[in-house]
Structure 1
Amino acid sequence: MSDRHVFEYALLRVVPRVERGECVNAGVLVYCRPKTFVAARTHLDEARLLALDPAADLPGVRAALRAVEGVCAGGEAAGQAARDDAGRRFRWLIAPRSTIVQPGPVHTGLTADPAAEAERLLDLLVR
Protein backbone atom coordinates (compact mmCIF):
# COMPACT_ATOMS: atom_id res chain seq x y z
CA MET A 1 0.00 0.00 0.00
CA SER A 2 1.29 3.45 -0.90
CA ASP A 3 2.22 5.92 1.78
CA ARG A 4 1.14 8.80 -0.47
CA HIS A 5 -2.31 10.33 -0.18
CA VAL A 6 -4.43 12.51 -2.42
CA PHE A 7 -4.38 16.17 -1.42
CA GLU A 8 -6.01 19.32 -2.75
CA TYR A 9 -4.57 22.79 -2.88
CA ALA A 10 -5.48 26.29 -3.98
CA LEU A 11 -3.49 29.48 -4.21
CA LEU A 12 -4.48 32.53 -2.21
CA ARG A 13 -4.36 35.56 -4.45
CA VAL A 14 -4.43 39.22 -3.52
CA VAL A 15 -6.50 41.18 -6.02
CA PRO A 16 -6.06 44.84 -5.07
CA ARG A 17 -8.23 46.24 -7.88
CA VAL A 18 -10.79 43.78 -9.18
CA GLU A 19 -11.56 45.91 -12.23
CA ARG A 20 -7.97 45.44 -13.48
CA GLY A 21 -7.86 41.68 -12.97
CA GLU A 22 -4.29 41.73 -11.65
CA CYS A 23 -3.22 39.62 -8.69
CA VAL A 24 -0.28 38.61 -6.54
CA ASN A 25 0.04 35.08 -5.18
CA ALA A 26 0.22 35.37 -1.40
CA GLY A 27 -0.35 31.90 -0.03
CA VAL A 28 -1.47 28.34 -0.48
CA LEU A 29 -4.23 26.25 1.12
CA VAL A 30 -3.60 22.51 1.43
CA TYR A 31 -6.15 19.86 2.40
CA CYS A 32 -5.52 16.13 2.78
CA ARG A 33 -8.63 14.23 3.84
CA PRO A 34 -6.91 10.91 4.77
CA LYS A 35 -4.58 12.81 7.12
CA THR A 36 -7.34 15.15 8.39
CA PHE A 37 -4.99 17.98 7.48
CA VAL A 38 -5.77 21.52 6.44
CA ALA A 39 -3.29 24.38 6.52
CA ALA A 40 -2.51 27.72 4.96
CA ARG A 41 0.99 29.02 4.38
CA THR A 42 1.27 32.67 3.41
CA HIS A 43 3.91 35.11 2.25
CA LEU A 44 3.03 38.63 1.15
CA ASP A 45 5.46 40.33 -1.23
CA GLU A 46 4.50 43.86 -0.27
CA ALA A 47 6.65 45.52 -2.95
CA ARG A 48 4.98 43.47 -5.68
CA LEU A 49 1.52 44.29 -4.33
CA LEU A 50 2.32 47.99 -4.09
CA ALA A 51 3.58 47.92 -7.70
CA LEU A 52 0.07 46.86 -8.73
CA ASP A 53 -1.69 49.29 -6.42
CA PRO A 54 0.32 51.91 -4.49
CA ALA A 55 -2.75 52.53 -2.30
CA ALA A 56 -3.21 48.85 -1.34
CA ASP A 57 -4.31 48.31 2.26
CA LEU A 58 -1.29 46.32 3.50
CA PRO A 59 -2.50 45.97 7.11
CA GLY A 60 -5.89 44.78 5.85
CA VAL A 61 -4.33 42.22 3.51
CA ARG A 62 -2.02 40.93 6.25
CA ALA A 63 -5.03 40.61 8.59
CA ALA A 64 -7.03 38.71 5.96
CA LEU A 65 -4.14 36.28 5.40
CA ARG A 66 -3.77 35.74 9.15
CA ALA A 67 -7.52 35.06 9.35
CA VAL A 68 -7.21 32.33 6.71
CA GLU A 69 -4.35 30.77 8.66
CA GLY A 70 -6.49 30.94 11.81
CA VAL A 71 -9.43 29.18 10.18
CA CYS A 72 -7.12 26.40 9.00
CA ALA A 73 -5.54 26.04 12.43
CA GLY A 74 -8.91 25.66 14.13
CA GLY A 75 -9.41 26.44 17.80
CA GLU A 76 -10.40 29.91 18.96
CA ALA A 77 -8.61 31.54 16.00
CA ALA A 78 -11.13 29.89 13.66
CA GLY A 79 -14.16 31.60 15.18
CA GLN A 80 -17.40 29.83 14.26
CA ALA A 81 -15.49 27.51 11.92
CA ALA A 82 -13.74 25.94 14.93
CA ARG A 83 -16.59 23.44 15.20
CA ASP A 84 -16.18 22.37 11.56
CA ASP A 85 -13.96 19.53 10.43
CA ALA A 86 -10.89 20.15 8.25
CA GLY A 87 -12.77 19.45 5.03
CA ARG A 88 -15.54 21.95 5.75
CA ARG A 89 -13.01 24.63 6.70
CA PHE A 90 -11.11 24.02 3.43
CA ARG A 91 -14.31 24.13 1.34
CA TRP A 92 -15.39 27.35 3.03
CA LEU A 93 -12.01 28.95 2.33
CA ILE A 94 -11.95 27.97 -1.35
CA ALA A 95 -15.46 29.27 -2.04
CA PRO A 96 -15.37 32.09 -4.61
CA ARG A 97 -15.51 35.56 -3.11
CA SER A 98 -15.03 39.13 -4.23
CA THR A 99 -12.77 40.29 -1.42
CA ILE A 100 -9.18 41.44 -1.80
CA VAL A 101 -7.88 37.96 -0.81
CA GLN A 102 -9.37 35.33 -3.12
CA PRO A 103 -8.81 31.61 -3.61
CA GLY A 104 -7.69 30.30 -6.96
CA PRO A 105 -8.80 27.07 -8.62
CA VAL A 106 -8.36 23.81 -6.74
CA HIS A 107 -5.70 21.36 -7.92
CA THR A 108 -4.82 17.86 -6.71
CA GLY A 109 -1.72 15.80 -6.14
CA LEU A 110 -0.22 12.99 -4.10
CA THR A 111 1.86 13.44 -0.97
CA ALA A 112 3.20 11.51 1.99
CA ASP A 113 3.60 14.69 4.04
CA PRO A 114 0.94 17.40 3.56
CA ALA A 115 2.75 19.91 5.81
CA ALA A 116 5.92 19.58 3.74
CA GLU A 117 3.83 19.85 0.59
CA ALA A 118 2.37 23.14 1.81
CA GLU A 119 5.89 24.53 2.29
CA ARG A 120 7.01 23.21 -1.10
CA LEU A 121 4.04 24.80 -2.87
CA LEU A 122 4.59 28.09 -1.06
CA ASP A 123 8.20 28.15 -2.24
CA LEU A 124 7.29 27.09 -5.78
CA LEU A 125 4.21 29.23 -6.41
CA VAL A 126 4.39 32.21 -4.07
CA ARG A 127 7.91 33.18 -3.01
Structure 2
Amino acid sequence: MTRLAYQYVVLRCVPRPDREEFVNVGVVLFCEATGFLEVACRVDHDRLRALDPRLDLAQVEAGLAFVVGVCAGDERGGSAARAPLGQRFGFLKAPRSTVIQPGPVHGGLTADPARQLEHLLERLVG
Protein backbone atom coordinates (compact mmCIF):
# COMPACT_ATOMS: atom_id res chain seq x y z
CA MET A 1 0.00 0.00 0.00
CA THR A 2 1.39 3.37 -1.03
CA ARG A 3 1.37 6.01 1.68
CA LEU A 4 1.13 9.56 0.40
CA ALA A 5 2.22 12.71 2.18
CA TYR A 6 -0.47 15.28 2.90
CA GLN A 7 -0.87 18.58 4.75
CA TYR A 8 -3.95 19.94 6.43
CA VAL A 9 -5.25 22.92 8.35
CA VAL A 10 -8.22 23.09 10.66
CA LEU A 11 -10.56 25.99 9.93
CA ARG A 12 -11.70 27.87 13.00
CA CYS A 13 -14.60 30.22 13.46
CA VAL A 14 -13.42 33.06 15.68
CA PRO A 15 -16.50 35.15 16.51
CA ARG A 16 -14.66 37.51 18.87
CA PRO A 17 -10.89 37.62 18.30
CA ASP A 18 -10.47 39.77 21.41
CA ARG A 19 -11.54 36.79 23.55
CA GLU A 20 -9.35 34.31 21.62
CA GLU A 21 -12.16 31.72 21.58
CA PHE A 22 -12.93 29.58 18.56
CA VAL A 23 -14.88 26.58 17.32
CA ASN A 24 -13.43 24.23 14.71
CA VAL A 25 -15.69 24.24 11.64
CA GLY A 26 -13.72 22.49 8.91
CA VAL A 27 -10.56 20.87 7.60
CA VAL A 28 -8.68 21.59 4.35
CA LEU A 29 -6.50 18.70 3.15
CA PHE A 30 -3.90 18.94 0.38
CA CYS A 31 -2.11 15.93 -1.13
CA GLU A 32 0.22 17.13 -3.87
CA ALA A 33 0.99 13.61 -5.16
CA THR A 34 -2.64 13.01 -6.11
CA GLY A 35 -3.72 16.56 -6.91
CA PHE A 36 -6.17 16.47 -4.02
CA LEU A 37 -7.34 19.72 -2.43
CA GLU A 38 -10.65 19.57 -0.62
CA VAL A 39 -12.42 20.95 2.40
CA ALA A 40 -14.96 19.28 4.67
CA CYS A 41 -17.06 21.48 6.95
CA ARG A 42 -19.51 21.08 9.79
CA VAL A 43 -20.94 24.16 11.51
CA ASP A 44 -22.51 23.80 14.95
CA HIS A 45 -24.68 26.91 15.16
CA ASP A 46 -25.49 26.37 18.83
CA ARG A 47 -21.82 26.23 19.87
CA LEU A 48 -21.05 29.35 17.86
CA ARG A 49 -24.01 31.24 19.31
CA ALA A 50 -22.82 30.26 22.79
CA LEU A 51 -19.58 32.17 22.09
CA ASP A 52 -21.34 35.15 20.55
CA PRO A 53 -25.14 35.37 20.27
CA ARG A 54 -24.75 38.23 17.76
CA LEU A 55 -22.58 36.23 15.36
CA ASP A 56 -23.71 36.53 11.75
CA LEU A 57 -24.03 32.86 10.78
CA ALA A 58 -24.58 33.85 7.15
CA GLN A 59 -21.09 35.41 7.22
CA VAL A 60 -19.67 32.15 8.57
CA GLU A 61 -21.40 30.14 5.82
CA ALA A 62 -20.20 32.63 3.18
CA GLY A 63 -16.62 32.31 4.43
CA LEU A 64 -16.79 28.54 4.19
CA ALA A 65 -18.39 28.74 0.72
CA PHE A 66 -15.40 30.83 -0.35
CA VAL A 67 -13.02 28.11 0.90
CA VAL A 68 -15.05 25.47 -0.96
CA GLY A 69 -14.79 27.59 -4.11
CA VAL A 70 -11.01 27.98 -3.78
CA CYS A 71 -10.59 24.22 -3.33
CA ALA A 72 -12.94 23.41 -6.21
CA GLY A 73 -11.44 26.02 -8.49
CA ASP A 74 -14.76 27.71 -9.19
CA GLU A 75 -16.12 31.25 -9.15
CA ARG A 76 -16.96 31.16 -5.42
CA GLY A 77 -13.21 31.31 -4.75
CA GLY A 78 -12.55 34.38 -6.88
CA SER A 79 -9.09 34.84 -8.38
CA ALA A 80 -7.50 32.52 -5.78
CA ALA A 81 -9.44 29.62 -7.33
CA ARG A 82 -7.57 30.01 -10.62
CA ALA A 83 -4.12 29.39 -9.09
CA PRO A 84 -2.38 25.99 -9.10
CA LEU A 85 -3.40 23.66 -6.25
CA GLY A 86 -0.29 24.25 -4.14
CA GLN A 87 -0.77 28.00 -4.30
CA ARG A 88 -4.46 27.63 -3.42
CA PHE A 89 -3.53 25.64 -0.33
CA GLY A 90 -0.91 28.27 0.51
CA PHE A 91 -3.58 30.96 0.25
CA LEU A 92 -5.99 29.01 2.47
CA LYS A 93 -3.41 28.27 5.17
CA ALA A 94 -2.24 31.89 5.42
CA PRO A 95 -3.29 33.69 8.60
CA ARG A 96 -6.07 36.23 8.20
CA SER A 97 -8.23 38.32 10.46
CA THR A 98 -11.67 37.22 9.34
CA VAL A 99 -14.28 35.20 11.19
CA ILE A 100 -12.91 32.00 9.50
CA GLN A 101 -9.22 31.47 10.30
CA PRO A 102 -6.83 28.59 9.58
CA GLY A 103 -4.98 26.90 12.41
CA PRO A 104 -1.39 25.68 12.10
CA VAL A 105 -0.37 23.36 9.27
CA HIS A 106 -0.04 19.68 10.13
CA GLY A 107 0.96 16.73 8.00
CA GLY A 108 0.85 12.99 7.76
CA LEU A 109 0.74 9.97 5.49
CA THR A 110 -2.32 8.31 4.00
CA ALA A 111 -3.31 5.85 1.31
CA ASP A 112 -6.63 7.64 0.74
CA PRO A 113 -6.75 11.45 1.02
CA ALA A 114 -10.56 11.65 0.83
CA ARG A 115 -10.98 9.13 3.62
CA GLN A 116 -8.32 10.90 5.69
CA LEU A 117 -10.20 14.18 5.28
CA GLU A 118 -13.40 12.61 6.61
CA HIS A 119 -11.46 11.07 9.51
CA LEU A 120 -9.91 14.44 10.40
CA LEU A 121 -13.29 16.17 10.20
CA GLU A 122 -14.82 13.65 12.56
CA ARG A 123 -11.89 13.78 15.01
CA LEU A 124 -11.19 17.52 14.99
CA VAL A 125 -14.56 19.13 14.26
CA GLY A 126 -17.02 16.55 15.50
Counterpart CA distance in 2 for 1:107 and 1:114 is 14
Q: Which amino acid aligns with 2:100?
A: V
CA deviations over 1:34-82 (Å, ceiling 9, x no partner)? 1111111111000000000010110110111111011101133332123
Counterpart CA distance in 1 for 2:90 and 2:20 is 24
Q: Is the 8 A contact 2:9 2:104 kept in 1?
A: yes
TM-score (norm 2): 0.96
What 5-or-longer segments of structure 1 have no aligned partner? none
Number of the residue aligned with 1:67: 66
Number of the residue aligned with 2:79: 80
TM-score (norm 1): 0.95
Q: How many residues align?
A: 126
Deviation at 1:83, TM superposition (A): 2.3
Alignment partner of 1:105: what SS? coil
Number of the residue aligned with 1:93: 92
Q: Is the 8 A contact 2:21 2:51 kept in 1?
A: yes
Percent identity (aligned): 52
Root-mean-square deviation (CA), in Å? Answer: 1.0
CA deviations over 1:4-38 (Å, ceiling 9, x no partner)? 11000010000000000000000001000111111
Match runs of 1:1-127 below 5 Å? 3-127=2-126
What 5-or-longer segments of structure 2 have no aligned partner? none
Counterpart CA distance in 2 for 1:14 and 1:82 is 21
Q: Is the 8 A contact 2:5 2:108 kept in 1?
A: yes
Counterpart CA distance in 2 for 1:77 and 1:47 is 26
Counterpart CA distance in 2 for 1:76 and 1:64 is 14
Counterpart CA distance in 1 for 2:82 and 2:69 is 13
Instruction: Name segments (4+ residues, structure 1) moved above 3 Å.
Output: none
Counterpart CA distance in 1 for 2:81 and 2:124 is 28
